[in-house]
Amino acid sequence: MLKTRSAFKQTHITSISVHFRGGEKLKFGDVVTAAASLVVLMVLIITPLYVVLAPTLGIYWGGIVTGAVSTLLSALVVGYIFAGKILEARRETVAKITVLSAALVMVSVVSLVAALPDFGPNLKEMYQEMYPEAVNWSPSEWLVAEMMMIYLEMVLNAVTVLVLGFIGLYIGSMLRKPVESQK
């Protein structure tokens, strides 16, 4: 019996995949590819869209609108591209892709903040304007304030990707009709 289980593990558990009736197999690699595609498309859409919207809406609102629109558009495209593999278990598959995409976006927020040398001084100036008592904060209090601002930025970006990504992937996957088998 022990040899049988070992042989089963060696022959049958070589790849993780999910099979949906009437559709292709959705492998874990497909989920990773879809999530990475979503984030890459978001970045590719953000840049030209921001160049157009920032002068008309301003730096702040241009960035907010650009982020929302690029998230929704990229999710629509990825949902359309992966529609055949998303097919029947649509909600679960879309949720997996969206959660992984949100995690990638959260990591990108942290790496972006690390690359911005003005983040700390700008945050300090903003807090001192909002809270006059912040002038007397200790370095450890400033550290906590910076960490909380990074967490807030991560959460806001993750929620945006989760909501708009889910909607876009779901709708995008419904736009493409399943291909009939020619048997």
| pLDDT, position 15 | 40
Q: Provide the domain limits for residue 89.
A: 22-175
In the chain, the number of structural domains is 1
| pLDDT, position 33 | 85
Contacts of 143 (CB under 8 A, 6+ apart): none
| pLDDT, position 19 | 42
Question: What pTM was estimated for this model as a whole?
Answer: 0.67
Residue 146 lies inside a defined structural domain of this protein: yes
Instruction: Answer yes or no: are the C-beta atoms of 37 and 45 closer than 8 Å.
Output: no
| pLDDT, position 12 | 44
| pLDDT, position 1 | 43
Local confidence band at 57 (pLDDT 50, 70, 90 cut-offs): very high
Residue 5 lies inside a defined structural domain of this protein: no
| pLDDT, position 93 | 80
Residue 181 lies inside a defined structural domain of this protein: no
Where is average pLDDT lowest: 6-15, 23-32, 35-44, 132-141? Answer: 6-15
Residue 96 lies inside a defined structural domain of this protein: yes
Instruction: Answer yes or no: are the C-beta atoms of 82 and 173 closer than 8 Å.
Output: yes
Average pLDDT across the chain, whole number: 79
Residue 57 lies inside a defined structural domain of this protein: yes
Residue 31 lies inside a defined structural domain of this protein: yes
Residue 4 lies inside a defined structural domain of this protein: no
Dihedral of CA atoms 58, 64, 68, 74 in degrees, nearest 10, equals 70
